[in-house]
Structure 1
């Protein structure tokens, strides 16, 4: 029994072990001084009070041993109890600093739920985190990256250091309770290898938690099909978007506001995709636009199956399963 207790005691964190020894010394010497000098220390509580004051401060003077045996007990208390108590506070401070450093270095697991996991640290990730933190939806953000040495934005996110295609890293980010995952492309790799790494990460995520919503950035058109096979819920072709903005700027006959500026106007969830209401089914796109415009909603297109029709020509009749691409004022 004693061996089992000793083995279990050694498994405790050093802070708890030191606290246990300090409290044991205080209780032991508090009871001992009551036995040695019952007139000076009428109760065990008085003895424990004296032991606590003696080990933690220089003593208040309200209780003090008067006999030689009592003073010898006080000497041993100072040598043992005060030492254990001081050692406890040193270890407590060390553990606190170690825990804080581990948090900044991405070694602490995340315990929350309903969070957003962003994989990869780059300028796009920074913009997304800034937007979500400043006026965006109030959501906890977890950043996974293997290149960073410490948390780049401690006040805005929880950092987990490691490779995103390893189960251990994803479990540390609590992938099972995550709401969404955004996989950004690694700009340090060539486009093909960056896409392959993103798809491998996607496969790992879906293998652990098939239900989590995954958004994947893909650079090459050829890897679109593989991303879909791997289970991507949404695919963002960043190169296509960038090329479109550049082509628009080149071919425009007159100077118009940058598309980036136009997109910023849609910031904050103003551009939405919603199912067609019952009162709009069977009506033309023009009629539906007029009805919703009175409510401050502008329809810019219709999503029908896998196809999207932007500003469709008249007459375009809205069907039951159509989705409306809307800009909300």
Structure 2
């Protein structure tokens, strides 16, 4: 009994790779020994290999079995050591899967994909943003970066990286250089607005240094810090408190319009704002406006210019970015992505 326990303890200390090699060697050697002991029983080495595998797996179909005394003694040996070895291997496999799951939940597994969205700093606004992203595109991969020790949002398309988002090593683990965009939310755990924006600015500068081509959107707490974010070339920034204030004012001045604004900033309900590609037959804004209108969409802007309805006769520039308001089905049809 003491020998068996010592044998088990020694096996448990071995690395997974070495255990795999020993298991394969043990099975092949036992197959050769079984065939050497009773060649007439097995006829071929493959049959002896099959018998060893079914015996170690405790299946025991009975189509092959040892008939001689040496063969039966070898079978007893295989029971004692083979079944234990296979159980150890199965235990190691289960342990490996458990470790992978634990590492994923604790944010220690690097992300290997591309064209994903990186969401930095977890809070209620980040939670809403992730749900909005999933609603907009169920196939979109999202990587969350935060300093929490556990996965904050459990979803098959959401990956988590635990660490300081201002460090390049953390951003590299999130596959930032291959990302489609990065969204930085203000870390409101600090009461000092300057410190909050300072951390956001540090993260933005790290992103700019590591992946300057990635579109970056940052949440800013104070308007006086905007110039600093422009200096590090943040593509877009949102003033946290101003966004809510502006919606409240619009609601107060124009009763019943808040639902319209909510539809434009969320893809979960009603019509939404979409970017459409320019078609060759569209020479002027008027051409695009009429064509889109016939398809059920309303052209409202070229980039941030909402006044194109006053210059419909002007030619559409080569670098135009046209935005329309329509429902998801109409957008898919216009963009040629409709599922037939």
Q: TM-score range by the shorter chain?
A: 0.7 to 0.9
Cα distance change, pair 270–248 in 1 and its aligned pair in 2 (3 A)? closer
Corresponding residue of 1:171: 172
SS where residue 151 of structure 2 aligns? coil
* Residue equivalent to 2:37: 36
In structure 2, the partner of 1:104 is 105
Cα distance in 1 between the residues matched to 2:302 and 2:88: 69
Residue by residue over 1:192-211, the C-alpha shift from the partner in whole angstroms, topping out at 9 and shown as x without a partner, is 11111111011111211121
Deviation at 1:59, TM superposition (A): 2.2
Do the aligned partners of 1:111 and 1:174 also contact (CA within 8 Å) in 2?
A: yes
Q: Is the 8 A contact 2:139 2:157 kept in 1?
A: no
Query: Equivalents in 1 of 2:289, 2:95: separation in Å?
Result: 67
1:328 maps to 2:330: no
TM-score, L = length of structure 2 = 0.77
- Matched residue SS, 1:215: strand
- Looking at structure 2, the residues matched to 175 and 145 of structure 1 have their Cα atoms a distance apart, in angstroms, of 14
With 145-154 and 289-298 compared, the bigger mean Cα shift is at: 289-298
The 3-state SS of whatever aligns with 2:40 is coil
2:92 and 2:220 mapped to 1: Cα distance? Answer: 48
CA distance in 1, matches of 2:278, 2:239: 25
Q: Residue deviations 1:259-278, cap 9 Å, x none?
A: 3x222232445265988964
C-alpha separation in 1, matches of 2:202 and 2:277: 32
Give SS of 1:109's match.
Answer: coil
Cα contact 1:289–1:298 (8 A) shared by 2:
no
TM-superposition CA deviations, 1:233-253 (whole Å, max 9, x none):
111122222222334455x3x
**Cα deviation, residue 311, structure 1:** 5.2
- In structure 1, the gaps of 5 or more residues are 1-9, 281-286
The residue number in structure 1 matching 2:224 is: 222
- 1:123-146 Cα offsets, whole Å, 9 max, x none, are 222222212212447411111111
Q: Tell me the distance in 2 between the aligned counterparts of 1:313 and 1:47.
A: 82
User: Could you say what the CA RMSD is over the residues aligned between the two structures, in angstroms?
Assistant: 3.3
Counterpart mapping for 1:303-318 below 5 A: none
Give the corresponding residue for 1:257.
Answer: 256
The answer to whether the aligner puts 1:270 opposite 2:273 as a matched pair is: yes
Moved more, 77-86 or 60-69: 60-69
- State how far apart, in whole Å, the 2-side matches of 1:313 and 1:278 are: 15
Tell me: CA distance 1:301–1:136, structure 2 relative to 1, closer, same or farther (3 Å): same
In the alignment, which residue of structure 1 is the partner of 2:198? 196
Change (3 A) 1:63 1:316: closer
Q: Is the 8 A contact 2:284 2:313 kept in 1?
A: no
